[in-house]
Amino acid sequence: MTKSEPTISYSVTGAGENLLLVHGGTGSRKHWIRNTAALAEHYRVWAIDLPGFGESPDLPAGVDSDQYIGYVYEQLQALAFTQEPFLLGAFSFGSVVSSGLALQFGERLKKLSIVGPAGYGIKRAVPIDTRSMRSAGSSIEAQNEVMRHNLKAIMLYYPESITDEMIAMHRVHINETRFDSRPISLSPQLLTNLKQVGCPVQILWGEHDQYAHPNLDERMQLTQQVLPSASLAKIARAGHWAQYENAEDTNQAMLDFLKS
Protein backbone atom coordinates (compact mmCIF):
# COMPACT_ATOMS: atom_id res chain seq x y z
CA MET A 1 0.00 0.00 0.00
CA THR A 2 1.24 3.50 -0.83
CA LYS A 3 0.58 6.81 0.87
CA SER A 4 -1.68 7.79 -2.01
CA GLU A 5 -4.14 5.02 -1.13
CA PRO A 6 -5.95 5.91 2.10
CA THR A 7 -8.03 3.14 3.58
CA ILE A 8 -9.45 4.99 6.58
CA SER A 9 -12.98 6.23 5.97
CA TYR A 10 -13.51 9.88 6.80
CA SER A 11 -15.62 12.97 6.31
CA VAL A 12 -14.17 16.45 5.90
CA THR A 13 -15.86 19.81 6.30
CA GLY A 14 -14.94 23.42 6.96
CA ALA A 15 -11.81 25.42 6.18
CA GLY A 16 -8.72 26.60 8.00
CA GLU A 17 -6.26 24.70 10.17
CA ASN A 18 -6.69 20.94 10.02
CA LEU A 19 -8.40 19.27 13.01
CA LEU A 20 -8.53 15.47 13.21
CA LEU A 21 -11.31 13.90 15.34
CA VAL A 22 -10.92 10.35 16.70
CA HIS A 23 -13.93 8.47 18.10
CA GLY A 24 -14.33 6.08 21.03
CA GLY A 25 -14.89 2.33 21.30
CA THR A 26 -18.02 0.71 19.82
CA GLY A 27 -18.40 3.84 17.75
CA SER A 28 -17.54 5.75 14.61
CA ARG A 29 -17.03 9.34 13.54
CA LYS A 30 -20.68 9.83 14.49
CA HIS A 31 -19.48 10.12 18.08
CA TRP A 32 -18.82 13.73 16.94
CA ILE A 33 -22.19 14.20 15.23
CA ARG A 34 -23.06 17.21 17.41
CA ASN A 35 -19.62 18.80 17.16
CA THR A 36 -18.30 18.78 13.60
CA ALA A 37 -20.48 21.64 12.34
CA ALA A 38 -19.53 23.96 15.21
CA LEU A 39 -15.84 23.09 14.95
CA ALA A 40 -15.92 23.42 11.16
CA GLU A 41 -16.83 27.09 11.52
CA HIS A 42 -13.21 27.57 12.58
CA TYR A 43 -11.27 24.55 11.25
CA ARG A 44 -11.06 22.05 8.43
CA VAL A 45 -12.42 19.07 10.35
CA TRP A 46 -11.46 15.52 9.45
CA ALA A 47 -13.61 12.96 11.32
CA ILE A 48 -12.37 9.41 10.77
CA ASP A 49 -13.58 5.87 11.37
CA LEU A 50 -10.73 3.98 12.99
CA PRO A 51 -9.69 0.63 11.45
CA GLY A 52 -12.16 -2.06 12.49
CA PHE A 53 -14.95 0.48 13.10
CA GLY A 54 -17.67 2.13 11.05
CA GLU A 55 -16.97 2.26 7.34
CA SER A 56 -13.22 1.67 7.60
CA PRO A 57 -11.81 -1.73 6.63
CA ASP A 58 -10.98 -4.52 9.06
CA LEU A 59 -7.47 -4.82 10.38
CA PRO A 60 -5.05 -7.09 8.51
CA ALA A 61 -4.42 -10.48 10.04
CA GLY A 62 -1.81 -10.30 12.77
CA VAL A 63 -2.53 -6.72 13.84
CA ASP A 64 -3.60 -6.91 17.48
CA SER A 65 -3.95 -4.43 20.33
CA ASP A 66 -0.19 -4.07 20.69
CA GLN A 67 0.22 -3.07 17.04
CA TYR A 68 -3.03 -1.13 16.69
CA ILE A 69 -1.80 2.42 17.30
CA GLY A 70 1.19 1.93 15.02
CA TYR A 71 -1.12 0.64 12.31
CA VAL A 72 -3.44 3.65 12.69
CA TYR A 73 -0.43 5.95 12.40
CA GLU A 74 0.63 4.24 9.17
CA GLN A 75 -2.86 4.59 7.69
CA LEU A 76 -3.06 8.27 8.59
CA GLN A 77 0.05 8.99 6.56
CA ALA A 78 -2.14 8.61 3.47
CA LEU A 79 -4.07 11.74 4.48
CA ALA A 80 -1.86 14.54 3.19
CA PHE A 81 -2.71 17.01 5.96
CA THR A 82 -0.94 14.82 8.55
CA GLN A 83 2.39 15.68 6.93
CA GLU A 84 1.99 19.26 8.21
CA PRO A 85 1.14 20.66 11.67
CA PHE A 86 -2.44 19.88 12.73
CA LEU A 87 -4.76 19.67 15.75
CA LEU A 88 -6.31 16.55 17.27
CA GLY A 89 -9.50 15.88 19.25
CA ALA A 90 -10.16 12.46 20.77
CA PHE A 91 -12.85 10.66 22.77
CA SER A 92 -12.60 7.77 25.26
CA PHE A 93 -10.78 4.80 23.64
CA GLY A 94 -9.70 7.27 20.98
CA SER A 95 -7.86 9.25 23.65
CA VAL A 96 -5.47 6.35 24.25
CA VAL A 97 -4.98 5.85 20.52
CA SER A 98 -4.41 9.58 20.04
CA SER A 99 -1.92 9.86 22.90
CA GLY A 100 0.13 7.20 21.13
CA LEU A 101 -0.28 9.00 17.81
CA ALA A 102 0.92 12.20 19.49
CA LEU A 103 4.25 10.55 20.29
CA GLN A 104 4.66 9.38 16.70
CA PHE A 105 3.55 12.64 15.05
CA GLY A 106 5.82 14.62 17.35
CA GLU A 107 6.11 18.28 16.38
CA ARG A 108 3.48 17.87 13.68
CA LEU A 109 0.82 17.75 16.41
CA LYS A 110 0.08 21.27 17.66
CA LYS A 111 -2.53 20.55 20.34
CA LEU A 112 -4.43 17.56 21.73
CA SER A 113 -7.96 17.92 23.15
CA ILE A 114 -9.40 14.86 24.91
CA VAL A 115 -12.98 14.19 26.04
CA GLY A 116 -13.79 11.39 28.51
CA PRO A 117 -10.34 9.78 28.56
CA ALA A 118 -9.73 6.06 28.96
CA GLY A 119 -6.35 4.38 29.50
CA TYR A 120 -5.84 4.77 33.24
CA GLY A 121 -5.42 1.09 34.08
CA ILE A 122 -7.52 1.40 37.25
CA LYS A 123 -9.53 -1.75 37.93
CA ARG A 124 -13.02 -1.21 39.28
CA ALA A 125 -13.95 -2.88 42.56
CA VAL A 126 -17.47 -3.25 41.15
CA PRO A 127 -17.82 -3.47 37.33
CA ILE A 128 -20.18 -1.15 35.47
CA ASP A 129 -23.64 -2.73 35.32
CA THR A 130 -24.07 -3.60 31.65
CA ARG A 131 -26.27 -6.24 30.02
CA SER A 132 -25.50 -8.62 27.18
CA MET A 133 -27.31 -8.12 23.90
CA ARG A 134 -27.66 -11.91 23.75
CA SER A 135 -30.02 -11.71 26.72
CA ALA A 136 -32.50 -9.85 24.52
CA GLY A 137 -32.76 -12.65 21.97
CA SER A 138 -34.34 -11.69 18.65
CA SER A 139 -36.82 -9.20 20.08
CA ILE A 140 -36.10 -5.70 18.74
CA GLU A 141 -37.95 -4.18 21.68
CA ALA A 142 -35.89 -6.18 24.18
CA GLN A 143 -32.67 -5.30 22.33
CA ASN A 144 -33.59 -1.61 22.47
CA GLU A 145 -34.11 -1.86 26.22
CA VAL A 146 -30.68 -3.49 26.66
CA MET A 147 -29.07 -0.73 24.60
CA ARG A 148 -30.95 1.93 26.56
CA HIS A 149 -29.73 0.40 29.83
CA ASN A 150 -26.14 0.14 28.63
CA LEU A 151 -26.05 3.67 27.23
CA LYS A 152 -27.27 4.97 30.59
CA ALA A 153 -24.68 2.88 32.44
CA ILE A 154 -21.73 3.78 30.23
CA MET A 155 -22.24 6.79 27.99
CA LEU A 156 -25.07 9.18 28.88
CA TYR A 157 -26.15 10.34 32.33
CA TYR A 158 -29.62 11.71 31.71
CA PRO A 159 -32.35 9.28 30.50
CA GLU A 160 -33.82 11.93 28.21
CA SER A 161 -30.54 11.97 26.28
CA ILE A 162 -31.24 8.43 25.08
CA THR A 163 -33.63 9.04 22.20
CA ASP A 164 -34.87 6.65 19.53
CA GLU A 165 -32.36 8.28 17.19
CA MET A 166 -29.58 7.52 19.67
CA ILE A 167 -30.68 3.88 20.02
CA ALA A 168 -30.64 3.50 16.23
CA MET A 169 -27.13 4.99 16.05
CA HIS A 170 -25.88 2.71 18.79
CA ARG A 171 -27.31 -0.36 17.03
CA VAL A 172 -25.31 0.55 13.92
CA HIS A 173 -22.19 1.06 16.03
CA ILE A 174 -22.58 -2.37 17.63
CA ASN A 175 -23.07 -4.05 14.26
CA GLU A 176 -20.13 -2.24 12.63
CA THR A 177 -17.57 -2.74 15.42
CA ARG A 178 -15.04 -5.48 14.54
CA PHE A 179 -12.18 -4.55 16.89
CA ASP A 180 -12.19 -5.12 20.64
CA SER A 181 -11.08 -1.79 22.10
CA ARG A 182 -11.19 -2.93 25.74
CA PRO A 183 -7.56 -4.08 26.13
CA ILE A 184 -6.38 -0.63 25.07
CA SER A 185 -9.05 1.29 26.98
CA LEU A 186 -8.40 -0.60 30.22
CA SER A 187 -4.61 -0.34 30.00
CA PRO A 188 -2.56 2.43 31.71
CA GLN A 189 -1.28 3.53 28.32
CA LEU A 190 -2.79 7.03 28.37
CA LEU A 191 -0.91 8.00 31.54
CA THR A 192 2.32 6.50 30.19
CA ASN A 193 1.99 8.44 26.94
CA LEU A 194 0.96 11.74 28.51
CA LYS A 195 4.26 11.87 30.38
CA GLN A 196 5.99 12.07 26.99
CA VAL A 197 3.60 14.20 24.92
CA GLY A 198 5.23 17.46 23.85
CA CYS A 199 2.22 19.52 22.73
CA PRO A 200 -0.35 21.35 24.90
CA VAL A 201 -3.07 18.98 26.18
CA GLN A 202 -6.65 19.63 27.25
CA ILE A 203 -8.75 16.98 29.02
CA LEU A 204 -12.51 17.35 29.52
CA TRP A 205 -14.82 15.13 31.56
CA GLY A 206 -18.58 15.16 31.84
CA GLU A 207 -19.29 15.94 35.49
CA HIS A 208 -21.05 12.56 35.75
CA ASP A 209 -18.51 10.55 33.70
CA GLN A 210 -19.25 6.90 34.46
CA TYR A 211 -15.69 5.82 33.59
CA ALA A 212 -13.92 8.24 35.92
CA HIS A 213 -13.54 5.89 38.87
CA PRO A 214 -12.98 5.82 41.77
CA ASN A 215 -14.32 9.37 41.36
CA LEU A 216 -13.81 12.25 38.99
CA ASP A 217 -11.87 14.51 41.36
CA GLU A 218 -9.33 11.75 42.08
CA ARG A 219 -9.05 11.04 38.36
CA MET A 220 -8.34 14.70 37.67
CA GLN A 221 -5.76 14.89 40.48
CA LEU A 222 -3.97 11.83 39.11
CA THR A 223 -3.92 13.36 35.65
CA GLN A 224 -2.52 16.63 36.93
CA GLN A 225 0.25 14.77 38.75
CA VAL A 226 1.24 12.99 35.54
CA LEU A 227 0.97 16.09 33.34
CA PRO A 228 1.00 19.30 35.43
CA SER A 229 0.75 21.48 32.32
CA ALA A 230 -2.53 19.93 31.15
CA SER A 231 -5.70 22.03 31.03
CA LEU A 232 -8.39 20.08 32.90
CA ALA A 233 -12.10 20.88 33.16
CA LYS A 234 -15.53 19.41 33.85
CA ILE A 235 -18.45 19.71 31.46
CA ALA A 236 -21.70 20.30 33.34
CA ARG A 237 -24.86 18.29 32.67
CA ALA A 238 -23.07 15.41 30.95
CA GLY A 239 -21.88 11.87 31.44
CA HIS A 240 -19.02 10.07 29.68
CA TRP A 241 -20.10 11.13 26.17
CA ALA A 242 -19.97 14.79 27.08
CA GLN A 243 -19.60 16.11 23.54
CA TYR A 244 -22.98 14.57 22.69
CA GLU A 245 -24.89 15.16 25.92
CA ASN A 246 -23.73 18.76 26.33
CA ALA A 247 -22.41 19.62 22.90
CA GLU A 248 -22.64 23.38 23.34
CA ASP A 249 -20.36 23.56 26.38
CA THR A 250 -17.97 20.93 25.02
CA ASN A 251 -17.64 22.68 21.67
CA GLN A 252 -16.94 25.98 23.38
CA ALA A 253 -14.35 24.45 25.73
CA MET A 254 -12.56 22.78 22.84
CA LEU A 255 -12.59 25.96 20.75
CA ASP A 256 -11.30 28.06 23.66
CA PHE A 257 -8.36 25.68 24.02
CA LEU A 258 -7.62 25.12 20.35
CA LYS A 259 -7.79 28.82 19.49
CA SER A 260 -5.82 30.08 22.51
Asked whether residue 193 is assigned to any structural domain, the reply reads yes
Asked whether residue 159 is assigned to any structural domain, the reply reads no
Asked whether residue 131 is assigned to any structural domain, the reply reads no
CA-to-CA distance for 74 and 35, rounded, in angstroms? 26
Structurally, how many domains does the chain consist of?
Answer: 1
Asked whether residue 170 is assigned to any structural domain, the reply reads no
Q: What is the CATH number of the domain that holds 40?
A: 3.40.50.1820
Q: What is the mean pLDDT of residues 215-244?
A: 97
- DSSP letter at 107 equals G
What are the CA-CA distances from residue 124 to residues 132, 228, 241, 242 (Å)? 19, 25, 19, 21
Question: Whole-model pTM?
Answer: 0.96
Q: Is 228 exposed, middle or buried (0-12, 13-18, 19+ CB in 10 A)?
A: exposed
CA-to-CA distance for 143 and 137, rounded, in angstroms? 7
What is the separation of C-alpha 162 from the centre of its chain, rounded to a whole number of angstroms? 19
What are the CA-CA distances from residue 154 to residues 10, 62, 102, 121, 256 (Å)? 26, 30, 26, 17, 27
Asked whether residue 173 is assigned to any structural domain, the reply reads no
Each residue's pLDDT tens digit, 109-152: 999 999 999 999 998 878 899 999 999 999 999 999 999 999 99
pLDDT at 5: 55
pLDDT at 124: 86
Asked whether residue 169 is assigned to any structural domain, the reply reads no
CB 10 within 8 A of CB 23: no
Instruction: Give the alpha-carbon dihedral of 22, 24, 29, 34, to 10 degrees.
Output: -100
pLDDT at 2 over 50: no
For residue 203, the enclosing domain spans 10-126+181-259
Q: What phi, psi does 63 have (nearest 5°)?
A: -90, 110
Each residue's pLDDT tens digit, 42-88: 999 999 999 999 999 999 999 999 999 999 999 999 999 999 999 99
